[in-house]
Chains A and B, each alone.
Chain A
């Protein structure tokens, strides 16, 4: 039995050392790359120093602001604040309504976004953009990654054109 116990101990030590290594890798990767998820309002109103901090921002794309600058190679557009909380979005009539409202409210908080890369196909008016990147000195957002959720005008709408 003693031999069996020490045998099992070897498995536990070996496995344990490996798992510790994995956990250490997770901790160091999280320190280096994890992003704070914020809404445009939280970003504008926070007291935290966000310089150099990885951020993830969600907002509604304002279609007419989308502009590509061939000189610098930057894509530039503006997003408007939308709530980050699902329950709040639901209370306000769902994501589509919230996006529509956010884009058309002139008093809404807005954020300028710069993106070094080709415009994704789904970068459309009233799309929900989820951006990863950092703030620059001018308070503009330098996005390294763009994730877009299509304005889902494909869903649930009742038709208008009708044949008798």
Chain B
């Protein structure tokens, strides 16, 4: 009974969405508050209904109900409960339902929390939200239905249906297919939901931008209301991307931590446009400029999200992340086209009214630097877009299919990301409106010489001779020091106000201006992440070697000795081959690495688990490639030294912390003149 029940609540939610869309449009047309209020309540109700559906499919998964086709396709009896739970987003229809559920959650929060302060923006926002939520419910109800079950008809044929067809017998397989072994990893718990929250949250800023356009508003209120949604989505998207990197890093064959796989690129695109938006939204709040730009970016971000799900889920991109071919391609294409063309039409219609209140002057100011950083971010976005669509474009234009890969991205984006880092470093030194060069020089007096120390140390003591690596080292230390300078100056001022109170001096600047310091801490997080990326991209060492028992290999000052190989079966049905590499550095023992290969006989597939030992300076990382099966006295390894890579994960933590600080509701209304985190003090 659970499957039909879950399906019925889902169908009911879909009907409510259809009703809501009709009611809100009728309400706008009739200027009728009760109709709009009725639509709002319908939106609030959709979430609990979809929740019931989601609980239903979860129960079916946990209960091994293999008569349900989705359950059969993603789990089997050997899987532990936590993986059976994550199987919720392990296949097409389940993950789509999960996506719809998150969307309904954001919609409900918006409908409950923001209707008072956005009553004039509410009707059109609701219309946009209903359109999207309704669309995803439609996919779940009619095309990718997770509640379909297997039935045996009297004539011996087998069919899929939610409800029992006349005369049919239920089919209950003894075991399921099981989740793809590559997905059986703790990363499966965190990476997909985090990323999904990031994607889905941009629905609200999109709806607000549409509403602001439709109602012809020229003020900044939609930006203020959208701010927490943008920031929360942005931080979840950032975290989701990095969790994916970590997962890739932990599992071989996924290409290091970032492989410029088309789906990765597609997921990065909305992050880039949202990041650009976060910065120009500040300009609009300061002096009423960039209205068209911000509306366009907010819309673009969500369009890129929908485009991404279309490309990934319709089997269009050849990628490790791609879902199996599905019938949702056409409807997804249609909705992408509708929201793109609809928003474009609205933008063009309102374009003449949305001019800048104050013209920006081209001079040494934070405004101009912000625009420049936007230009760089959007260029990166354009390059990503071009890379993903290059095969299609080239085939249309020249009749030969040309593709681009990681080398192409790295060659173009390396300099652009470096430039972005330079801007991130310099920006806090540039004042709003105008900065005189003499003041800038004065600000650089201490920071510049100090920033030269880390690259000099790396060169003299670390033996790093690659000029580009040394330059990027300088860049990150410079950016980091500028941020520290901003903080210490504020601490100094607080100290002067109330001398002797150390704790207050350290904390009060942050507390007084959370948006500004939140932003600076996010930037600091990005600086730390860059250290990790420079380490693995610029300083990685690797070797591949075949060793007999007792033999060793030296790399990067470490010695790895092959001391043993073991083969055993586990309770969950894996056959594990585990090797031991003991590590010494200058004769000093440093423990061991245990690279292994897990064979899943049921799937005929093996998963490589690297051996890993990490600290702040470096990761020692080894992969077991091959071994002599019977005597077990010889094996082939690939050993990597990945310097500084841990800073990538640490920086992400700092970034999240800064975002939380920036988005935390402020108890006191912001002081006059404080419009954002980048305000000069």
Contact = CB atoms under 8 A, between A and B. Distances in A.
Given A29-B412, A34-B404, A145-B406, A118 B359 contact: no
B408 A149 contact: no
Nearest to B405: A132
A54 B390 CA distance: 15
Interface string A1-21: 000100100110011001100
B324 A161 contact: no
Contacts of A15: 375
Interface in A86-132: 94-95, 117-122, 124, 128, 130, 132
A20 to B, nearest CB: 11
B412 A26 contact: yes
B439 interface: no
Interface in B321-357: 322, 324-325
Contacts of A119: 625
Interface residues of A, number: 56
B172 A26 contact: no
Nearest to A63: B604
B219 interface: no
Q: B73, B324, B604, B636 — which one has the most chain A CB atoms within 10 A of its CB?
A: B324
A159 B320 contact: no
Contacts of B407: 29, 32-33
Contacts of A118: 252-253, 608, 623, 625, 638
B173 A159 contact: yes
A49 B639 CA distance: 37
A149 B361 contact: no
A154 B73 CA distance: 6
A7 B172 contact: no
Contacts of A28: 411
A77 interface: no
Interface string B121-133: 0000000000000
Nearest to B407: A33
Interface in B36-68: 66
A139 interface: no
Interface stretch (B176-184, B230-238, B277-285, B456-464): B176-184
15 contacts: A7-B359, A28-B411, A29-B411, A30-B408, A35-B402, A37-B403, A95-B325, A118-B625, A121-B606, A122-B182, A128-B318, A149-B320, A149-B322, A160-B173, A161-B175
Given A22-B383, A122-B320, 18 more contacts: A11-B371, A18-B376, A18-B379, A26-B386, A30-B408, A32-B407, A33-B407, A33-B411, A35-B405, A118-B253, A118-B623, A121-B252, A128-B318, A130-B318, A147-B261, A148-B320, A150-B180, A157-B73
